[in-house]
Copies of this chain bind each other. A is one copy, B any other.
């Protein structure tokens, strides 16, 4: 059995959005007890990550790390059509994930106690993003 639905996520520009509650709600609604849940983001300048969910500073530090590793306005980049954050957003996406597949057990995602599934917006401006959730069960 497959259940597939889209989440529409409005971001506030660069930063993270916790998708875990919405994903868990879709899994619960599917009735799946055991299986897999695939989460896919249909963009190339925003990405997904499984991240620590307790201390928001972890995500602030991740952002600081990425900003240093892939600085906006880096003269290395030629593709700058949409501004200094355009190409860095693509690089950040490549270094993280466009999809994660997590186990379902006892009717919910079998995440670790400290794990959440986050959308990471890499563009400076707010964007509307599409995330497709596919639940697989037997």
Contacts and interface: CB of A to CB of B under 8 A. Distances in A.
Q: How many copies does the complex hold?
A: 3
Binding site secondary structure of chain A: mixed
Interface of A: 1-2, 4, 34-36, 38, 40-44, 49-52, 55, 57-58, 60-62, 64-65, 68-70, 76-79, 81, 87, 90-91, 93-103, 105, 110-115, 130, 132, 134, 136-138
28 contacts: A1-B138, A2-B34, A2-B138, A4-B105, A36-B134, A38-B101, A38-B103, A40-B103, A43-B112, A44-B112, A44-B115, A49-B94, A50-B98, A51-B90, A55-B79, A55-B81, A57-B79, A58-B79, A60-B78, A61-B77, A62-B94, A64-B76, A65-B70, A65-B76, A65-B77, A65-B91, A99-B100, A110-B132
